Amino acid sequence: MADADHLSDYMLAQFDLPNQTPTIRRHLPTSIAMFLSKFPDGFYDEQYLKQERNPILKVQHLAQTLLGKEAITTLLDEKNHQEIVKRVSQVVDATDMLSPNEKRFLIRGLSIEPGSFVFAQGLHNLLYGEYSLPTRFGSFLWFLLSIRTGKWTTATYFPFLLQPEKYLFVDTFSTLCTGNFSDFRGLVVYPNANPLLYKLILNFAEHLKAELKELQPRDMIDVRAFMRYMCWRAT
C-alpha cells in the first residue's frame, strides 16, 4: 500500500496542480450577492436551513446511525450480509441524489455475496483508513466500477453524508458549472469517478470555502449548496 501511495502522489504531480492555488474569478462577488438576495442571512438563513441544509442533515443523521464507524465495524465483525444491504438501501432511498438506475445497480451489486462486505470494508477504509485519499478512494471505487456504478454521484454519496466536513458530493453538472467560475483547471469531470481528480476537486472546494469565509460555511453541505446555486443562476 505504501507503493500505491507513492504512485498516487507521483501521478498527481503530473497534473502540475496540487501546489497551484486555485483562484476564483470576478463572478464570485456577484454570486455571493445573488445568494444573499435569496438568503439574506446566508448559510444561517431560516429559509436556507429549511430548503437546503436541514434535509441533508436529516439524511446525514440516518447515515451516521446506520453506517457510522461503530455500526459498520459491528456489521463487518458479524458478517451480517443482509443487514448491510438493508441499511445501504435505506440511506440511498432517503434522497433523490442518486438516480433510480444508480440505486438499482448498487443494491443489486451488494446483494451478490461478497459484494456487501467488499463495499462495507471499502467504505470503512475510505473514511477511517491511514493511506492517502487517492489510494483509499481508488480502492472503494474499484468495487463500485465492478458492479457498474462507478459514477461520481454513487462514489461520493456516502463519504459526503458520513463526513461532510471533509468530503464533497460531486455531480457532474454543478461541478463543471462551478469550474467555469474559477481558474482551477482540475475541474474537468468525467462520467466515471477518478480518485486523483477527486483530490483536486476537494482542493477546489476547500479553496471556495475559504473564499466564502464572510458567510461562515460550516462544511461541504454549505459549499455544495452554494455551488449548486451558482450553477442554477448561470443556466
**pLDDT tens, 43-73?**
999 999 999 999 999 999 999 999 999 999 9
What confidence score (pLDDT) does residue 187 get? 65
Mean pLDDT across 211-231: 93
Q: How many CB atoms lie within 10 A of CB 230?
A: 22
Task: Band the pLDDT of 29: cuts 50, 70, 90.
Answer: confident
Task: Band the pLDDT of 186: cuts 50, 70, 90.
Answer: low
What confidence score (pLDDT) does residue 24 get? 58
What confidence score (pLDDT) does residue 45 get? 98
What confidence score (pLDDT) does residue 11 get? 42
Let me know: does 106 contact 149? Beta carbons within 8 Å.
yes
Q: Which of 1-10, 19-28, 53-62 has the lowest mean pLDDT?
A: 1-10
Select the more confidently predicted residue: 30 or 119. 119
DSSP symbol at 151: B
Three-state SS at 211: helix
Task: Band the pLDDT of 176: cuts 50, 70, 90.
Answer: confident
Residue 130 buriedness (CB in 10 A; 0-12 / 13-18 / 19+): exposed
Tens digit of pLDDT for each residue in 100-126? 999 999 999 999 888 999 999 999 999
The pTM (predicted TM-score) of the whole model is 0.87
Task: Band the pLDDT of 21: cuts 50, 70, 90.
Answer: very low
What confidence score (pLDDT) does residue 96 get? 95
Mean pLDDT across 188-208: 84
Instruction: Kindly tell me if the per-residue pLDDT of 18 is higher than 90.
Output: no
Helix axes 54-67, 152-162, angle to 10 degrees: 80
Let me know: does 76 contact 117? Beta carbons within 8 Å.
yes
Q: How many CB atoms lie within 10 A of CB 53?
A: 19
Q: Which of 11-15, 34-38, 223-227 has the lowest mean pLDDT?
A: 11-15
Q: Which three cell numbers stand for residue 96?
A: 433523490
What confidence score (pLDDT) does residue 185 get? 57
Task: Band the pLDDT of 192: cuts 50, 70, 90.
Answer: confident
